Each structure stands twice: as structure tokens, then as C-alpha cells.
Structure 1
């Protein structure tokens, strides 16, 4: 997947079987996810990513076979419904599982947590995984699947790496063969720090994506410094990730994109 100011819309898959908030069967979950994906496709987005964000509280570093199987079923349904590049993240840090689903469902990328260094997240300590994950990608023949990697990730404490700034973290990700780095604010929906984004642009020869807090109001400010924009909360009613997609917010955002592309 080639990134060139790509707008990537988030499909927050409903709570999956076995998780505390689960209330839909898998066919209903697929139907809702497919409808969101079609809405994004019709609005002219460049790519779509799915994520099991409703599965709170998240497991750490791995998930059960029921989650992997359910995400594969949802992924296949979306793949058959839209003709766009597709990506997946499985929370929290279930990067191997995400890669397996991506390979099985013909997705083009995953979003991986904990690629280099370590951090303390809501779920506990997340260790680095680059060596193991890239060997797994090689082993299953999924080298066509891009791995975009969070650095100094949201919802996390980075005190244990406080002497390693975001530039050095990005350089480490590049050295460890990341396909692109993702910068975020402090939590879901929070904007990134512009000075960090500006700094990264000249520090690594990798695509830099923004992974939180992008809105129609701040898109122009970030446009020059990022290759891709992952947008979820802003597209939802009242800007809250749990709500349905607001077609009005989506329309206004894409109008701003068209303006910037001119």
C-alpha cells in the first residue's frame, strides 16, 4: 500500500463474542462493520482500518482464538464489500493475530503496538516485538502486508524510556524495518504535538502517519508533515468513537481534503 496523504477511516468493530460488552452475534457485527466500511468508501476515503475497540478491557499482547476467528470473519466480509486498501489492529498488541487475519483476508496493512522499546499501557507492560513479528510475517508468507508501527503510543506511560525521544524511537523503528511510524496524542481523539510531527519529517525515511486527533479544523496544519491520517472519533456523531458515523462530519472533512489536495 502506497501512502500519499491517505485518509484512513476507522471501523470500530462491535464487542466480539466472549468480551464483557458483547451483545451482538457475529452476523450482526459483520453487517454493522460492512455498513460503516461502505459509508467510508462512498465518501471517497483512501483506505479503511478495522479494530476491536469495543472489547474493553483489553487483553495484553495476545487474544483468544474466538477473537482472532471473529475478526477474520469481519475482515472477509469487508474485503468482499469494498474495493479499497484495508488494515487491521487487534487490541491490545495482538500483532501476530492481526497479521494472520490480514494475510487470510487479503488486507494490505496492520497497525502494531510495541514494535520497538517498551511501555506501560492500560493493560500493563508491553514489550517490543519487532524481531518476532517480522520473523512471523516471513514464516507465513505475508511480506506483502505492511506493518505500520506506533511510537510513543497513546494511553501509555513512557517513563521507562524518558531518555529516548520520539525521534530516536522512530529511528529505531526504521532500523528494525518498520514500514511506517504512527504518531498519536495522549489518548484516543487527542491531537498530536505539531513540533514532534515536524521534527520526524526529516529524521526518518519512512511514511509518518497521524493516529489520533485529526479533525477538519486541524488537518491543514498537519497536512504538510504526514503521509497518512487515521481518523476515527472525528467521523462519529459528537466526535465520540462509540457513536455512529456522522455523514455530515464525514462530508465536511472530505471537502477539506479536496481543498488541500488542490
Structure 2
């Protein structure tokens, strides 16, 4: 039994990825959009997911393009306010991702009682954001310092928009993280956005990452979810749950329910 059972009451979990609207301070923020409008939108999204039977939801600032390595103080302040209001009356477990600032995500998680943070946490990368050098020691120590040790860390493997500078193979990378960086779970991305990792990769990470649960970070569909759940412990899902399967559209409660009905056949 893993912490998935404690948080989600399931050993095989499906986590929706919810994108907050562009926030004040980001280039795509629509001037004049009130904080209350963002709160209402967020509540409606979370409500659709909960009513559709989703196990959990990871909430992030994916629409704050282009991403910063280290966000300003406005981002955690705004998101904490939004989620404190938007989650009222709802029971669905939430997690936080901040692109790219794991410490800000931990602070938000502490403020809003989120159950996990999905982030990169460690490694050296080059890509659209330039160079990123991360040490899990910073996140682990910060979590300890704010008394947030109940917040679980979900390590993203093969994060988007960048490439690891080192040439370690995936199995070695997982084993090193497990030994040195205190992960609570792994989320493996496919080689391209929307593309699932291979089932062989998921099985390998599942084996190498024991006892941590392993999920696919993208690419799960109604057609492959049975195979995914046989290879690992769950999936992050977004596009297939939205109206017209368009990333910028709201979640469709009926699509969520249809997807979760398929999932139940394999759990």
C-alpha cells in the first residue's frame, strides 16, 4: 500500500491537470479580469472534475507563458488566494505545479492544504528557459522548515521544454533520485507533449522506483488507459477530458465520467 491509498483512496489513480487562467503579472493576463472571475472559473473546473468522479487534480500556472525559472511573489500570493476560495465545499484532493518554481509550489501547498507537489526538483537542464540547475535538498529542507512534511513530492521525469544535460539512462536516473533526493512518486513524460511514454519505460520506472508509485505524466487516453494501469500506478490526464478535446476549453463533466467509467474496468 502506498500514500496513494491514503490520499486518493485508490492504489491506481487518475489525476486531472487543471490550468489556471493567465494570472496578473503574466503576458497573457487579460487586463480587467477580476480575481473573483478567476476564482469562479477555478471552482467550476474543480466541481466538474469532482462530480465526474476524478480521483484528484493537479493545479498549475501552465498558461503563464513564457515560463520563469523562479516566479515573482505575486504568483504564490494570487494562487493561494484563488485556491483558498475556489476549493470551498469541495473534497477532491489537489496538488500544485508551478512552472518553474518548486519552492513556490510547496508554499502554496502548505497554504491551501494541497496533498502533493508535482515538480522537477533535481537535475541540470537546458531548453526554452535557458539553464536550470535544481537540487532536491532545497525543496526537502524548505518543506521541513515550514512544517509541510505531509506534502508529497511527485518527481517529473523528462520534463517539458528542456533536456537533461547529463546522459544518464532513465533507469539510472530513477535509482539515483530514489537514493539521493527523497521522492514520494514519479511522473514520467513521453518524448513529446501529449505523447505517452512507452509501456516498457513505464514498467522499467515502476520496477526501478520501488517503493514509490509511478504514473504517466501525459498521453493517457480511453484507448490505452487499461494498458497504462497494467504498467504503472496511474496517469495525469487533461486534453481528453475537455470540451472538444481542446486544451484551452473547460472540463466536460460527462467526458470525465465516461473516462472514469472506463478506468473502473481496469482497477
Gaps of 5+ in 2: 6-10
SS in 2 for 1:16: coil
- TM-fit CA distance, 1:55: 0.6
* Contact persistence 1:88–1:110 (CA under 8 A): yes
In structure 2, the residue matched to 1:40 is: 49
Q: Deviations over 1:103-134 (max 9, x none)?
A: 01111100112x23211232122212201110
Q: Assess if the C-alpha contact under 8 Å between 1:79 and 1:86 holds in 2.
A: no
Report Cα offsets for 1:8-62 as digits up to 9, x if no partner: 11221000001111112211111111101010000111111111111111111x1
Q: Does 1:128 align with 2:134?
A: yes
Q: 2:112 aligns with which of 75, 86, 105?
A: 105
1:155-176 CA-to-partner distances (Å, cap 9, x unmatched) read 2223x222x0111111122111
1:27 to 2:32 alignment: no
* Greater mean alpha carbon deviation, residues 236-245 or residues 214-223: 236-245
Query: Structure 1 residue 79 and structure 2 residue 87: aligned?
Result: yes
For the 8 Å contact 1:116–1:172, the answer to whether it is kept is no
Distance, in Å, in 2 between the alignment partners of 1:78 and 1:129 is: 32
**How many pairs does the alignment contain?**
256
- What is the SS of the residue equivalent to 2:4? coil
Query: Equivalent residue for 1:2?
Result: 4
What's the counterpart of residue 18 of structure 2? 11
Tell me the secondary structure at the aligned position of residue 122 of structure 2: coil
- Secondary structure of the residue that 1:171 maps to in structure 2? helix
TM-score normalised by L of structure 1: 0.93
Q: Contact between 1:236 and 1:243, CA under 8 Å: does it hold in 2?
A: yes
Tell me how far apart the structure 1 counterparts of residues 92 and 28 of structure 2 sit (CA, whole Å).
30
Q: What TM-score, normalized to structure 2? A: 0.91
The residue aligned with 2:96 is 88
Within the alignment, does 1:244 sit opposite 2:250 as a pair? yes
Q: Which runs of 4+ in 1 moved over 3 A?
A: none
Q: Which residue of 1 aligns with 2:124?
A: 118
- SS across alignment from 1:229: strand
Shift of 1:81: 3.3
Compute the displacement of 1:248 (Å).
Answer: 4.0
Q: How does 1:107-186 map to 2 (within 5 A)?
A: 107-113=114-120, 115-158=121-164, 160-162=165-167, 164-175=168-179, 176-186=181-191
Superposed CA RMSD in Å reads: 1.5
Specify whether residues 109 and 171 from structure 1 end up closer, same or farther in structure 2 by C-alpha distance, changes over 3 A only: same
Distance in 2 (alpha carbons) for counterparts of 1:21 and 1:54? 8
How far apart in 2 are the matches of 1:81 and 1:10? Answer: 20
The answer to whether 1:188 aligns with 2:193 is yes
The one of 27, 41, 53 aligned to 2:62? 53
Contact 2:49 2:251 in 1 (8 A): no
Structure 1: gaps (5+ residues): none
